Amino acid sequence: MTTAPEGKAGFWAKCRACGHCWIAAYLPMEIIAACKLIGAARCPVCGDSRPVMPKQDSGVLLEEA
């Protein structure tokens, strides 16, 4: 599992196509920058461009990757 920078929590994304989970952004960050990053997220495994938000709590993924 990825370790977040000090004082940050990972915001996870999940691929609709293959189910892969990855950190799309580290929060807190400026909301406009976070929206741009998350909106442009692509699955690093299959390239699908429509990720969903998996179950997570304060940067901890609560479902299987």
**All structural domains of the chain with their residue ranges:** 9-54
Q: Could you give the CA distance from residue 24 to residue 56 in angstroms, rounded to a whole number?
A: 13
Q: Could you give the CA distance from residue 42 to residue 22 in angstroms, rounded to a whole number?
A: 10
Q: Which helix (H) or strand (E) holds 22?
A: strand 21-27
Identify the pLDDT of residue 1: 52
Identify the pLDDT of residue 52: 93
- Tokens representing 34 are 């976070």
Q: Report CA 42 to chain centroid distance, whole Å.
A: 10
Q: Could you give the CA distance from residue 7 to residue 16 in angstroms, rounded to a whole number?
A: 29
Q: What is the pTM of this model?
A: 0.80
Query: Averaged over 34-39, what is the pLDDT?
Result: 90
